[in-house]
Amino acid sequence: MYGKNAKIFIANLGCPKNEVDGEVWVGKLTAAGFEITHNPQEADYFFVNSCAFIEDARRESAEVIRQLGRIKQKNGSKKLFIVGCWAQKEGEKLLEKFPFVDGVLGNLDIQSACKHFINNLNSGNKLLYVPDDPGMWYPVGEVLPRTYPYAYIKIADGCDNFCSYCILPQIKHRFRSTPIEHIIDRARFLVEHNYKELVLVAQETSRYGQDLGDGTNLITLLEKLNQIEGDFIIRVLYLHPLRVTKELIDAIASLPKVTNYLDIPLQHYDSDILSAMNRGYDSDYIEKMLEMIKSSGAEFTLRTTFITGFPGETDQQFENLLNFVSRGEFTHMGVFQYSPEPGTPAAEMPNRVSPEIASLRKELLEMTQDQISFDRNRALENKITSALVESHTLREDISIARMEQDAPEIDRHIRVQGLKPVGEWIRVRIIKALPHEFLGIMEE
C-alpha cells in the first residue's frame, strides 16, 4: 500500500517534546510521499508516538495502541506501528506485548527509523528498529505544528542529570543541544506563519549550549529569538533549579518577547529526599533561589512539579513538603506519584512507600494547591487582562483563551462569551474565577 496516496495517522502522547518528534515524523513521511490525516478511520497506517516516562504514561500509550488495534482488526489492510520513547525503551518486548502491531521503531534517531520503515514496509515482516546511537540533528523542516497558535521548539535532547528515579537518560542518552541556527530558522518559519507563542522545550532547557563549546547558552538563544521581528511571545519550560541564575532571571525579565514565566521542577523540598533523588540541591538552596527571583524587581509566574511517595519518604518529610507548598509560592503546580522504574537506582531503594499512601499524599498536595490557586484566581475577578484565543467550543459561541501567565495545555484558560479568530489577542474582563479556569467577557 506504500505510495503517494497512503495516509498515516499519528497519535502523539506524553510531553511536548514528543509533539516535536511527531512533527519530525510528519516531515520525513510527507517528504517520502505519504499523506498525514487526522482521521484514524481513513488512515492506512497508524503511528502511536508513545511515552514511557512513568507507569501512567505507559498505561495511556497501551490504551491508545489497543484502541487503534481494534480499528485495525475491523479493517485488516491497516497497519499499526509503535514509535516514541516506549518503542526505544522496550523494543522487541512490545511486539510480544502487542502481537497485533506491525512494527516497533525507536526514536533515538528518527531519520534512520523512518528510512527503515520505508525500505522494509513491503517486506511482509514485522518491523523492528531500535537505534543504538543518537542521530545527528535534523531540522523539522517546513512542517506547520497542529498546535496553532502556539508551537513547541525542542532546543536540546537527552539528559546528563541522572536523577535516581528517572529512566530518560537511558532512553534519550546524553544531553545534546540543537545548533542555534536551526532553532532560529525554525522560529522564523513559525513566526512567518503567524504562530503567536514559541515554547522552548528540552529535558532541561537551562543547560542549553553547554555542550557546544562556543560560549552559547540559553541567554544567548533568548536574545537572538527576541530579535526576530513579529508579534509573538517566547516561553521557556523545564529549568533545572541548579541553573536558575541571576543572569538568566535578569535576561528573561529584560527581553520584551520572553514571558516572565518560570517552570522549575523541584520534585521535593525535604533535603534528605532531594539527596536520595540525586537532585544536587537542598531546601536551603531552594529558599535562596526563590529569594533571588523575588528580589529581581520583576514579577514572575512560577510553576513547579513534585513527586510523592519516593522510597523512604516519611510522614515528617512529606509534612515538610506540604508545609512548603502551603506557603503559596507557586501559581501552578503538578504532582506525580512515584513510579518505580526498573534500571534506576531508586527502584532498588529500601523502605518503599505504599501506592495508597503515595496517592493520598499526592491528593493532599493537590488539594492544598487548589485552594491557593482558587484564592489567586478570585483576586483576578473583575480585572481586565489580555488573552490569546486558542480554540472555540463546538456547540456554544465560546472562545477558549489563555493569559500570558499560563502555559498551553497544562495551566488555566478562560472561557469567553463570543467568537474571535484563533490566534488573536483579545481583552477580557474576568467575571468568574474557578480553581482551574475563568469565565470572561470581551472588552472592546
CA angle (19 as vertex; 336, 423 as ends), nearest 5:
105
pLDDT of residue 2: 56
Please report how many Cα atoms fall inside a 13 Å half-sphere around the Cα of residue 14, on the Cβ side: 25
Which residue, 111, 134, 118, is CA-closest to 103?
A: 118
Evaluate if residue 77 carries a pLDDT over 80: yes
- What angle do the packed helices 110-120 and 16-31 form, to 10 degrees? 40
Q: Phi and psi for 287 in degrees, rounded to 5?
A: -60, -45
Q: Which is higher by pLDDT, 405 or 121? A: 405
Confidence category of residue 175, pLDDT binned at 50, 70, 90: very high
Most trustworthy range by pLDDT among 19-28, 86-95, 264-273: 264-273
CA angle (373 as vertex; 146, 328 as ends), nearest 5:
120
CATH number of 150-378: 3.80.30.20
Which residue, 38, 39, 25, 57, is CA-closest to 65?
A: 57
Confidence category of residue 137, pLDDT binned at 50, 70, 90: confident
Confidence category of residue 4, pLDDT binned at 50, 70, 90: low
Look up residue 68 and give its three cell numbers: 487503534
pLDDT of residue 394: 77
CA 63 from centroid of its chain's CA atoms: 20
Mean pLDDT of 220-244: 97
* Burial class of residue 128, CB neighbours in 10 A (0-12, 13-18, 19+): middle
CA dihedral 404, 407, 410, 411 (to 10 degrees): -20
Evaluate if residue 274 carries a pLDDT over 90: yes
Q: Phi and psi for 363 in degrees, rounded to 5?
A: -65, -40
Q: What is the DSSP secondary structure assignment for residue 258, as one 8-state letter?
A: B
Model-level pTM?
A: 0.93
* Burial class of residue 244, CB neighbours in 10 A (0-12, 13-18, 19+): middle
DSSP string, 353-367: PPHHHHHHHHHHHHH
Domain ranges of the chain: 7-129, 150-378, 384-442
Evaluate if residue 403 carries a pLDDT over 60: yes
Confidence category of residue 3, pLDDT binned at 50, 70, 90: low
CATH homologous superfamily of 384-442 equals: Nucleic acid-binding proteins (2.40.50.140)
Evaluate if residue 284 carries a pLDDT over 80: yes
* Burial class of residue 39, CB neighbours in 10 A (0-12, 13-18, 19+): exposed
Cβ neighbours for 301, distance < 8 A, ≥ 6 positions apart = 260, 261, 262, 331, 332, 405, 406
Mean pLDDT of 402-406: 97
Please give the radius of gyration of the chain, using alpha carbons only, rounded to the nearest integer.
Answer: 22
Evaluate if residue 317 carries a pLDDT over 80: yes
pLDDT of residue 123: 82
Evaluate if residue 411 carries a pLDDT over 90: yes
Q: Pairing mode, if any, of strands 197-201 and 233-236?
A: parallel
pLDDT of residue 74: 86
- What angle do the packed helices 283-294 and 246-254 form, to 10 degrees? 30
Percent of the chain at pLDDT exceeding 90? 84
DSSP string, 110-159: HHHHHHHHHHHTTSSS-EEE--SSPPPP----S---TTTTEEEEE-EE--
Identify the weakest region by mean pLDDT among 3-17, 214-228, 241-255, 353-367.
Answer: 3-17
Identify the weakest region by mean pLDDT among 11-15, 177-181, 227-231.
Answer: 11-15
Evaluate if residue 75 carries a pLDDT over 90: no
Cβ neighbours for 378, distance < 8 A, ≥ 6 positions apart = 433
Confidence category of residue 303, pLDDT binned at 50, 70, 90: very high
pLDDT of residue 258: 98
The C-alpha atoms of residue 94 and residue 234 are separated, in whole angstroms, by 38
Evaluate if residue 231 carries a pLDDT over 70: yes
Q: Pairing mode, if any, of strands 7-12 and 103-105?
A: unpaired
Percent of the chain at pLDDT exceeding 70? 99
Evaluate if residue 246 carries a pLDDT over 90: yes
Query: How does the average pLDDT of the chain come out, rounded?
Result: 93
The C-alpha atoms of residue 64 and residue 49 are separated, in whole angstroms, by 10
Contact call for residues 377 and 434 (beta carbons, < 8 A): yes
Confidence category of residue 76, pLDDT binned at 50, 70, 90: confident
End-to-end CA distance of the chain: 53
- Location of C-alpha cell 491508545: 64
Task: Give 7-129's CATH code, choosing from 3.40.50.12160, 3.30.70.2200, 3.40.250.10, 3.40.50.1820.
Answer: 3.40.50.12160
The C-alpha atoms of residue 140 and residue 27 are separated, in whole angstroms, by 6
